[in-house]
Chains A and B, each alone.
Chain A
Amino acid sequence: MKKFTGLAVSVLFAGSLCAQDEYVSGTFRSTQLINAQTVEMCPVGGPEFNIRHRFGVVGADTTAYQQFLGLDLPANIRLGFAFPINERLSIGIGRTKMRKFVDAEIKYIPLKQTVDNSMPVSVVLYANCGVRGERFPRVPSNSYYGDSLTPFEYKFEHRFSYNSEIIVARKFNDKFSLQLAGSYVYRNLVNPGEENGTGSVIISGMYATGMSSSLIFEYAYRFNNRPEGNAYPLAIGWEFGTVAHVFQLFLCSTNEIPEQEVYTGNPNNYFKGKFAIGFNIKRIMWRKN
Protein backbone atom coordinates (compact mmCIF):
# COMPACT_ATOMS: atom_id res chain seq x y z
CA MET A 1 0.00 0.00 0.00
CA LYS A 2 2.89 2.33 0.88
CA LYS A 3 4.48 1.53 -2.46
CA PHE A 4 1.25 2.35 -4.25
CA THR A 5 0.86 5.65 -2.39
CA GLY A 6 4.48 6.54 -3.17
CA LEU A 7 3.96 5.78 -6.84
CA ALA A 8 0.73 7.77 -6.97
CA VAL A 9 2.32 10.80 -5.31
CA SER A 10 5.38 10.68 -7.57
CA VAL A 11 3.16 10.47 -10.66
CA LEU A 12 1.03 13.37 -9.43
CA PHE A 13 4.00 15.63 -8.77
CA ALA A 14 6.07 14.52 -11.71
CA GLY A 15 4.57 17.33 -13.75
CA SER A 16 5.99 20.03 -11.51
CA LEU A 17 9.43 18.38 -11.53
CA CYS A 18 9.65 18.62 -15.30
CA ALA A 19 8.20 22.11 -15.42
CA GLN A 20 11.24 23.65 -17.10
CA ASP A 21 11.42 21.18 -20.00
CA GLU A 22 10.29 21.88 -23.52
CA TYR A 23 7.48 19.54 -24.36
CA VAL A 24 6.62 17.86 -27.62
CA SER A 25 3.40 19.25 -29.02
CA GLY A 26 0.81 17.80 -31.38
CA THR A 27 1.31 14.11 -30.68
CA PHE A 28 -2.25 13.78 -31.98
CA ARG A 29 -4.61 16.31 -33.49
CA SER A 30 -7.45 15.63 -31.11
CA THR A 31 -8.23 14.49 -27.59
CA GLN A 32 -10.04 11.55 -29.17
CA LEU A 33 -8.81 9.09 -31.78
CA ILE A 34 -11.93 7.34 -33.12
CA ASN A 35 -13.08 5.60 -29.89
CA ALA A 36 -9.88 5.96 -27.88
CA GLN A 37 -8.78 8.79 -25.67
CA THR A 38 -5.41 10.28 -26.64
CA VAL A 39 -2.70 11.97 -24.61
CA GLU A 40 -3.80 15.33 -26.00
CA MET A 41 -5.48 17.59 -23.47
CA CYS A 42 -8.23 20.11 -23.91
CA PRO A 43 -6.32 23.40 -24.38
CA VAL A 44 -6.46 25.97 -21.60
CA GLY A 45 -7.59 28.52 -24.18
CA GLY A 46 -11.13 27.28 -24.25
CA PRO A 47 -13.62 24.51 -23.65
CA GLU A 48 -14.05 21.84 -26.28
CA PHE A 49 -17.29 20.75 -27.89
CA ASN A 50 -17.22 17.35 -29.52
CA ILE A 51 -19.64 15.29 -31.53
CA ARG A 52 -19.21 11.57 -32.05
CA HIS A 53 -21.54 10.01 -34.55
CA ARG A 54 -21.92 6.42 -35.75
CA PHE A 55 -24.24 5.33 -38.51
CA GLY A 56 -25.93 1.93 -38.59
CA VAL A 57 -24.03 -1.31 -39.13
CA VAL A 58 -24.19 -2.82 -42.61
CA GLY A 59 -22.66 -5.85 -44.27
CA ALA A 60 -20.42 -5.96 -47.30
CA ASP A 61 -23.37 -7.15 -49.37
CA THR A 62 -26.61 -5.74 -50.71
CA THR A 63 -27.44 -4.09 -47.39
CA ALA A 64 -24.53 -1.72 -47.98
CA TYR A 65 -26.26 0.05 -50.86
CA GLN A 66 -29.84 -0.72 -49.80
CA GLN A 67 -29.20 1.13 -46.54
CA PHE A 68 -26.85 3.62 -48.21
CA LEU A 69 -23.80 2.52 -46.20
CA GLY A 70 -25.82 2.62 -42.99
CA LEU A 71 -26.98 6.22 -43.32
CA ASP A 72 -30.59 5.02 -43.56
CA LEU A 73 -30.33 2.99 -40.35
CA PRO A 74 -30.72 4.24 -36.78
CA ALA A 75 -27.57 6.06 -35.73
CA ASN A 76 -25.84 6.67 -32.44
CA ILE A 77 -24.54 10.04 -31.35
CA ARG A 78 -22.77 11.57 -28.39
CA LEU A 79 -22.57 15.26 -27.65
CA GLY A 80 -19.90 16.24 -25.17
CA PHE A 81 -18.10 19.15 -23.57
CA ALA A 82 -14.62 19.12 -22.07
CA PHE A 83 -13.44 21.88 -19.78
CA PRO A 84 -9.78 22.53 -18.99
CA ILE A 85 -8.95 23.10 -15.33
CA ASN A 86 -5.33 23.78 -16.18
CA GLU A 87 -2.88 22.56 -18.80
CA ARG A 88 -2.59 19.17 -17.11
CA LEU A 89 -6.12 18.50 -16.00
CA SER A 90 -9.51 18.57 -17.68
CA ILE A 91 -12.99 17.35 -16.93
CA GLY A 92 -15.83 16.60 -19.28
CA ILE A 93 -19.41 15.52 -19.61
CA GLY A 94 -21.40 13.95 -22.42
CA ARG A 95 -24.56 12.18 -23.38
CA THR A 96 -25.00 9.30 -25.80
CA LYS A 97 -28.23 8.41 -27.54
CA MET A 98 -28.08 4.63 -27.06
CA ARG A 99 -29.13 3.67 -23.51
CA LYS A 100 -29.55 7.42 -22.80
CA PHE A 101 -26.05 7.18 -21.41
CA VAL A 102 -24.63 10.16 -19.50
CA ASP A 103 -20.95 10.15 -18.59
CA ALA A 104 -18.57 12.37 -16.68
CA GLU A 105 -14.84 12.15 -17.24
CA ILE A 106 -11.58 13.35 -15.78
CA LYS A 107 -8.24 13.38 -17.55
CA TYR A 108 -4.84 14.14 -16.11
CA ILE A 109 -1.44 14.22 -17.78
CA PRO A 110 1.34 13.67 -15.25
CA LEU A 111 4.13 13.12 -17.78
CA LYS A 112 4.76 14.84 -21.09
CA GLN A 113 7.19 13.79 -23.78
CA THR A 114 10.07 16.25 -23.97
CA VAL A 115 11.91 17.49 -27.03
CA ASP A 116 15.32 16.48 -25.64
CA ASN A 117 13.98 12.96 -25.02
CA SER A 118 14.65 13.10 -21.28
CA MET A 119 11.03 11.95 -21.08
CA PRO A 120 10.45 9.73 -24.11
CA VAL A 121 6.69 9.31 -23.73
CA SER A 122 3.59 11.12 -22.56
CA VAL A 123 1.42 9.45 -19.96
CA VAL A 124 -2.23 10.22 -19.29
CA LEU A 125 -4.57 8.96 -16.59
CA TYR A 126 -8.19 8.92 -17.61
CA ALA A 127 -11.35 7.87 -15.79
CA ASN A 128 -15.02 8.18 -16.48
CA CYS A 129 -18.25 7.19 -14.85
CA GLY A 130 -21.39 6.50 -16.88
CA VAL A 131 -25.05 6.22 -15.99
CA ARG A 132 -27.65 4.48 -18.11
CA GLY A 133 -30.68 6.72 -18.20
CA GLU A 134 -33.00 4.43 -20.12
CA ARG A 135 -35.94 2.73 -18.51
CA PHE A 136 -35.10 -0.80 -17.45
CA PRO A 137 -36.97 -3.45 -19.42
CA ARG A 138 -39.60 -5.49 -17.63
CA VAL A 139 -38.29 -8.91 -16.65
CA PRO A 140 -40.37 -12.07 -16.32
CA SER A 141 -41.12 -13.29 -12.83
CA ASN A 142 -38.86 -16.31 -13.36
CA SER A 143 -35.72 -14.13 -13.65
CA TYR A 144 -32.82 -14.63 -11.28
CA TYR A 145 -29.36 -13.25 -10.58
CA GLY A 146 -26.39 -15.25 -11.79
CA ASP A 147 -26.58 -17.47 -8.70
CA SER A 148 -29.90 -18.85 -10.05
CA LEU A 149 -31.40 -18.49 -6.57
CA THR A 150 -32.01 -14.80 -5.84
CA PRO A 151 -34.99 -13.35 -7.70
CA PHE A 152 -33.77 -10.66 -10.04
CA GLU A 153 -34.77 -7.05 -9.78
CA TYR A 154 -33.12 -3.99 -11.27
CA LYS A 155 -31.46 -1.61 -8.82
CA PHE A 156 -30.34 1.97 -9.29
CA GLU A 157 -26.67 0.96 -8.97
CA HIS A 158 -27.09 -1.28 -12.00
CA ARG A 159 -27.11 1.86 -14.11
CA PHE A 160 -23.46 2.64 -13.35
CA SER A 161 -20.34 1.63 -15.18
CA TYR A 162 -16.77 2.90 -15.02
CA ASN A 163 -13.73 3.06 -17.21
CA SER A 164 -10.19 3.85 -16.12
CA GLU A 165 -7.24 4.03 -18.45
CA ILE A 166 -3.56 4.65 -18.43
CA ILE A 167 -2.36 5.88 -21.80
CA VAL A 168 1.24 5.96 -22.95
CA ALA A 169 2.06 7.67 -26.22
CA ARG A 170 5.08 8.70 -28.21
CA LYS A 171 5.44 11.05 -31.12
CA PHE A 172 8.20 9.38 -33.14
CA ASN A 173 8.51 12.14 -35.71
CA ASP A 174 6.38 14.79 -37.39
CA LYS A 175 4.46 12.12 -39.26
CA PHE A 176 4.00 9.21 -36.92
CA SER A 177 2.59 8.88 -33.40
CA LEU A 178 1.61 5.74 -31.57
CA GLN A 179 -0.09 5.10 -28.27
CA LEU A 180 -0.82 2.15 -26.04
CA ALA A 181 -3.55 2.24 -23.44
CA GLY A 182 -4.50 -0.16 -20.71
CA SER A 183 -8.19 0.00 -19.92
CA TYR A 184 -10.25 -1.49 -17.13
CA VAL A 185 -14.00 -1.25 -17.47
CA TYR A 186 -16.23 -2.16 -14.55
CA ARG A 187 -19.98 -2.60 -15.01
CA ASN A 188 -22.15 -3.09 -11.96
CA LEU A 189 -24.49 -5.35 -13.92
CA VAL A 190 -23.52 -7.66 -16.75
CA ASN A 191 -25.26 -10.36 -18.72
CA PRO A 192 -25.13 -13.93 -17.42
CA GLY A 193 -21.83 -15.54 -18.33
CA GLU A 194 -19.88 -12.29 -18.40
CA GLU A 195 -17.48 -10.85 -15.84
CA ASN A 196 -18.09 -7.43 -14.28
CA GLY A 197 -14.56 -6.22 -14.93
CA THR A 198 -13.08 -6.19 -18.42
CA GLY A 199 -9.41 -5.55 -19.10
CA SER A 200 -8.18 -4.54 -22.49
CA VAL A 201 -5.23 -2.99 -24.21
CA ILE A 202 -5.81 -0.47 -26.96
CA ILE A 203 -3.30 0.40 -29.62
CA SER A 204 -3.94 3.39 -31.78
CA GLY A 205 -1.93 5.64 -34.01
CA MET A 206 -1.71 8.38 -36.56
CA TYR A 207 0.31 8.76 -39.72
CA ALA A 208 0.30 12.25 -41.20
CA THR A 209 -0.35 12.32 -44.93
CA GLY A 210 -0.17 16.09 -45.27
CA MET A 211 -0.01 19.35 -43.35
CA SER A 212 -3.45 18.91 -41.90
CA SER A 213 -4.53 15.35 -42.68
CA SER A 214 -3.58 11.91 -41.47
CA LEU A 215 -4.51 8.26 -41.46
CA ILE A 216 -5.68 6.96 -38.11
CA PHE A 217 -6.37 3.51 -36.70
CA GLU A 218 -7.42 1.78 -33.51
CA TYR A 219 -7.43 -1.82 -32.30
CA ALA A 220 -8.45 -3.08 -28.87
CA TYR A 221 -7.43 -6.49 -27.58
CA ARG A 222 -9.44 -7.86 -24.69
CA PHE A 223 -8.18 -10.15 -21.93
CA ASN A 224 -11.58 -11.42 -20.85
CA ASN A 225 -15.20 -11.13 -21.98
CA ARG A 226 -13.83 -11.82 -25.44
CA PRO A 227 -16.06 -11.00 -28.40
CA GLU A 228 -17.61 -13.67 -30.57
CA GLY A 229 -15.33 -14.82 -33.35
CA ASN A 230 -12.44 -12.87 -31.78
CA ALA A 231 -13.55 -9.79 -33.69
CA TYR A 232 -11.90 -7.29 -31.37
CA PRO A 233 -12.84 -3.64 -31.90
CA LEU A 234 -11.08 -2.29 -34.96
CA ALA A 235 -11.33 1.00 -36.80
CA ILE A 236 -9.45 2.78 -39.54
CA GLY A 237 -10.00 6.24 -40.91
CA TRP A 238 -8.80 9.61 -41.99
CA GLU A 239 -8.71 12.90 -40.18
CA PHE A 240 -8.01 16.49 -40.99
CA GLY A 241 -7.73 19.45 -38.72
CA THR A 242 -7.73 23.21 -38.62
CA VAL A 243 -6.79 25.52 -35.78
CA ALA A 244 -10.06 25.03 -33.95
CA HIS A 245 -11.61 21.95 -35.60
CA VAL A 246 -10.71 18.33 -36.11
CA PHE A 247 -12.76 16.04 -38.32
CA GLN A 248 -12.35 12.27 -38.31
CA LEU A 249 -14.11 9.96 -40.76
CA PHE A 250 -13.69 6.22 -40.33
CA LEU A 251 -14.89 2.66 -40.75
CA CYS A 252 -15.37 0.90 -37.45
CA SER A 253 -16.63 -2.42 -36.16
CA THR A 254 -19.23 -1.07 -33.73
CA ASN A 255 -21.62 1.81 -33.51
CA GLU A 256 -21.31 1.98 -29.74
CA ILE A 257 -19.63 5.12 -28.42
CA PRO A 258 -18.90 5.02 -24.66
CA GLU A 259 -15.73 3.10 -23.76
CA GLN A 260 -17.82 1.00 -21.39
CA GLU A 261 -19.66 -0.44 -24.39
CA VAL A 262 -16.96 -0.36 -27.08
CA TYR A 263 -14.46 -2.32 -25.00
CA THR A 264 -16.90 -4.82 -23.49
CA GLY A 265 -19.70 -5.51 -25.96
CA ASN A 266 -19.78 -7.69 -29.00
CA PRO A 267 -18.58 -5.61 -31.93
CA ASN A 268 -19.86 -6.59 -35.30
CA ASN A 269 -17.81 -9.25 -36.95
CA TYR A 270 -15.71 -7.58 -39.62
CA PHE A 271 -14.49 -11.01 -40.67
CA LYS A 272 -18.03 -11.41 -42.01
CA GLY A 273 -17.96 -8.01 -43.66
CA LYS A 274 -19.90 -6.07 -41.03
CA PHE A 275 -18.91 -2.45 -40.55
CA ALA A 276 -20.23 0.99 -39.67
CA ILE A 277 -19.28 4.44 -40.80
CA GLY A 278 -18.65 7.08 -38.19
CA PHE A 279 -17.29 10.53 -37.73
CA ASN A 280 -16.02 12.70 -34.90
CA ILE A 281 -15.98 16.47 -34.88
CA LYS A 282 -14.12 18.51 -32.34
CA ARG A 283 -14.50 22.24 -31.98
CA ILE A 284 -12.48 24.32 -29.55
CA MET A 285 -14.25 27.45 -28.45
CA TRP A 286 -11.32 29.77 -27.87
CA ARG A 287 -11.90 32.31 -25.17
CA LYS A 288 -11.05 35.94 -25.78
CA ASN A 289 -7.96 36.96 -23.80
Chain B
Amino acid sequence: MKTTRVIFQLFLCTTAVATLAWSSCRKDTGPLVIPLPVTAPVSFQNDIQPLFNSSCISCHNASHPYLQLDSCCSYYELLFTGTNAPYVDTLNPPESRIIKRMTGEIGPAMPLTGTLPQSEIDLVLRWIEEGAKNN
Protein backbone atom coordinates (compact mmCIF):
# COMPACT_ATOMS: atom_id res chain seq x y z
CA MET B 1 0.00 0.00 0.00
CA LYS B 2 2.81 2.35 0.97
CA THR B 3 4.70 1.47 -2.20
CA THR B 4 1.64 2.33 -4.28
CA ARG B 5 1.40 5.67 -2.52
CA VAL B 6 5.05 6.49 -3.15
CA ILE B 7 4.70 5.50 -6.82
CA PHE B 8 1.65 7.72 -7.09
CA GLN B 9 3.52 10.64 -5.55
CA LEU B 10 6.45 10.01 -7.83
CA PHE B 11 4.11 9.95 -10.82
CA LEU B 12 2.56 13.27 -9.88
CA CYS B 13 5.94 14.89 -9.31
CA THR B 14 7.21 13.54 -12.62
CA THR B 15 4.14 14.99 -14.31
CA ALA B 16 4.82 18.34 -12.68
CA VAL B 17 8.45 18.29 -13.80
CA ALA B 18 7.39 17.29 -17.32
CA THR B 19 4.95 20.18 -17.40
CA LEU B 20 7.71 22.55 -16.36
CA ALA B 21 10.02 21.15 -18.99
CA TRP B 22 7.31 21.67 -21.58
CA SER B 23 7.21 25.31 -20.62
CA SER B 24 10.33 25.91 -22.66
CA CYS B 25 8.47 25.04 -25.84
CA ARG B 26 8.06 28.75 -26.59
CA LYS B 27 10.36 31.61 -25.81
CA ASP B 28 8.65 34.49 -27.53
CA THR B 29 8.50 38.21 -27.04
CA GLY B 30 6.07 40.50 -28.75
CA PRO B 31 4.13 41.96 -30.32
CA LEU B 32 6.61 44.61 -31.32
CA VAL B 33 4.86 47.20 -33.47
CA ILE B 34 7.23 48.78 -35.95
CA PRO B 35 5.90 52.04 -37.39
CA LEU B 36 5.04 51.86 -41.05
CA PRO B 37 6.91 54.11 -43.45
CA VAL B 38 5.26 57.47 -43.81
CA THR B 39 2.81 57.37 -46.69
CA ALA B 40 0.15 59.66 -48.05
CA PRO B 41 -3.00 59.65 -45.94
CA VAL B 42 -5.81 57.41 -47.09
CA SER B 43 -8.45 59.34 -48.99
CA PHE B 44 -12.07 58.39 -48.51
CA GLN B 45 -13.06 59.59 -51.96
CA ASN B 46 -10.07 58.17 -53.83
CA ASP B 47 -9.29 54.98 -51.88
CA ILE B 48 -12.25 53.82 -49.83
CA GLN B 49 -15.25 54.73 -52.01
CA PRO B 50 -13.82 52.94 -55.08
CA LEU B 51 -13.45 49.85 -52.91
CA PHE B 52 -17.14 50.14 -51.93
CA ASN B 53 -18.08 50.68 -55.58
CA SER B 54 -16.33 47.53 -56.72
CA SER B 55 -17.21 45.20 -53.88
CA CYS B 56 -20.20 46.46 -51.91
CA ILE B 57 -22.78 48.54 -53.72
CA SER B 58 -24.24 45.69 -55.73
CA CYS B 59 -26.15 44.99 -52.50
CA HIS B 60 -25.55 48.06 -50.33
CA ASN B 61 -27.38 50.49 -52.62
CA ALA B 62 -30.48 52.63 -52.16
CA SER B 63 -32.66 49.56 -51.81
CA HIS B 64 -30.64 48.07 -48.92
CA PRO B 65 -32.61 48.26 -45.69
CA TYR B 66 -29.65 48.89 -43.33
CA LEU B 67 -26.64 50.48 -44.97
CA GLN B 68 -26.18 52.38 -48.20
CA LEU B 69 -22.64 52.65 -49.54
CA ASP B 70 -23.28 54.64 -52.74
CA SER B 71 -20.98 57.60 -53.25
CA CYS B 72 -23.85 59.96 -52.46
CA CYS B 73 -24.10 59.00 -48.82
CA SER B 74 -21.70 56.26 -47.75
CA TYR B 75 -19.69 58.48 -45.39
CA TYR B 76 -22.75 59.71 -43.48
CA GLU B 77 -24.28 56.25 -43.47
CA LEU B 78 -21.14 54.80 -41.90
CA LEU B 79 -20.79 57.49 -39.29
CA PHE B 80 -24.32 58.61 -38.50
CA THR B 81 -27.34 57.32 -40.37
CA GLY B 82 -26.72 53.61 -41.03
CA THR B 83 -28.90 51.31 -38.94
CA ASN B 84 -25.98 50.26 -36.70
CA ALA B 85 -23.98 53.49 -37.03
CA PRO B 86 -21.32 54.35 -36.20
CA TYR B 87 -19.58 51.60 -38.13
CA VAL B 88 -16.19 53.12 -37.34
CA ASP B 89 -14.50 53.46 -33.96
CA THR B 90 -11.60 55.87 -34.18
CA LEU B 91 -10.63 55.27 -30.55
CA ASN B 92 -10.25 51.55 -31.14
CA PRO B 93 -10.05 51.08 -34.92
CA PRO B 94 -9.69 47.26 -34.98
CA GLU B 95 -12.96 47.02 -33.07
CA SER B 96 -14.85 49.02 -35.69
CA ARG B 97 -18.03 47.30 -36.83
CA ILE B 98 -17.10 47.66 -40.51
CA ILE B 99 -13.79 45.86 -39.91
CA LYS B 100 -15.47 43.11 -37.94
CA ARG B 101 -18.03 42.64 -40.73
CA MET B 102 -15.32 42.43 -43.36
CA THR B 103 -13.32 39.88 -41.36
CA GLY B 104 -16.40 37.88 -40.41
CA GLU B 105 -16.01 38.52 -36.70
CA ILE B 106 -19.65 39.64 -36.61
CA GLY B 107 -21.91 37.65 -38.89
CA PRO B 108 -20.76 36.24 -42.22
CA ALA B 109 -17.71 37.93 -43.77
CA MET B 110 -18.57 40.73 -46.19
CA PRO B 111 -18.90 40.79 -49.11
CA LEU B 112 -20.83 37.55 -49.31
CA THR B 113 -19.44 36.90 -52.78
CA GLY B 114 -15.92 36.48 -51.38
CA THR B 115 -13.82 38.00 -48.62
CA LEU B 116 -11.80 41.10 -49.45
CA PRO B 117 -8.02 40.74 -49.70
CA GLN B 118 -6.23 41.61 -46.44
CA SER B 119 -4.60 44.61 -48.11
CA GLU B 120 -8.02 46.20 -48.70
CA ILE B 121 -9.15 45.50 -45.13
CA ASP B 122 -5.89 47.06 -43.92
CA LEU B 123 -6.60 50.08 -46.11
CA VAL B 124 -9.97 50.64 -44.45
CA LEU B 125 -8.38 50.08 -41.06
CA ARG B 126 -5.73 52.68 -41.84
CA TRP B 127 -8.41 55.14 -42.94
CA ILE B 128 -10.09 54.71 -39.56
CA GLU B 129 -6.78 54.95 -37.71
CA GLU B 130 -6.15 58.24 -39.48
CA GLY B 131 -9.39 59.59 -38.08
CA ALA B 132 -12.00 58.37 -40.60
CA LYS B 133 -11.92 61.70 -42.39
CA ASN B 134 -14.27 62.67 -45.21
CA ASN B 135 -11.36 63.60 -47.45
Contact = CB atoms under 8 A, between A and B. Distances in A.
Contacts of B9: 12, 85-86, 88-89, 108
A189 interface: yes
B112 interface: no
A192 B118 contact: no
Interface string B1-40: 0100110111011011001100111111111111110000
A192 B12 contact: no
A194 B32 CA distance: 12
Interface string A77-114: 00000000110110100000000000000101000000
A224 interface: no
Contacts, number: 107
B86 interface: no
Nearest to B119: A141
A189 B125 CA distance: 26
Interface stretch (A43-51, A143-151, A170-178, A270-278): A143-151
A129 B36 contact: no
A162 interface: yes
Main SS at interface, chain A: mixed
Contact of B33 (A127, A129, A142, A164): A142
Interface in B106-135: 118, 122, 125
A152 B28 CA distance: 10
A146 B29 contact: yes
A105 B125 CA distance: 42
A228 interface: no
Interface in A124-161: 125, 127, 129, 137-146, 148, 152, 155, 157-158, 160-161
Contacts of B33: 139-140, 142-144
B23 A162 contact: yes
Contacts of B29: 145-146, 189-194, 196
Contacts of A143: 30-34
Given A16-B6, A141-B122, A142-B36, A106 B12 contact: yes
Given A106-B13, A106-B15, 10 more contacts: A85-B9, A91-B12, A106-B12, A138-B95, A140-B94, A143-B34, A157-B25, A157-B26, A189-B26, A196-B28
26 contacts: A8-B13, A12-B6, A89-B9, A108-B9, A108-B12, A125-B13, A129-B19, A129-B23, A138-B94, A140-B94, A141-B118, A141-B122, A142-B34, A143-B33, A144-B30, A144-B31, A145-B30, A145-B31, A146-B29, A148-B32, A160-B26, A162-B23, A186-B23, A186-B24, A192-B29, A193-B29
Interface of B: 2, 5-6, 8-10, 12-13, 15-16, 19-20, 23-36, 94-95, 118, 122, 125
Interface of A: 8, 12-13, 16, 85-86, 88-89, 91, 106, 108, 125, 127, 129, 137-146, 148, 152, 155, 157-158, 160-162, 164, 186, 188-194, 196
Instruction: Please list the 7 inter-chain residue pairs (A to B) with the smallest Cβ-Cβ separation, ordered nearest first.
Output: A146-B29, A143-B31, A188-B26, A138-B94, A152-B31, A162-B23, A145-B30
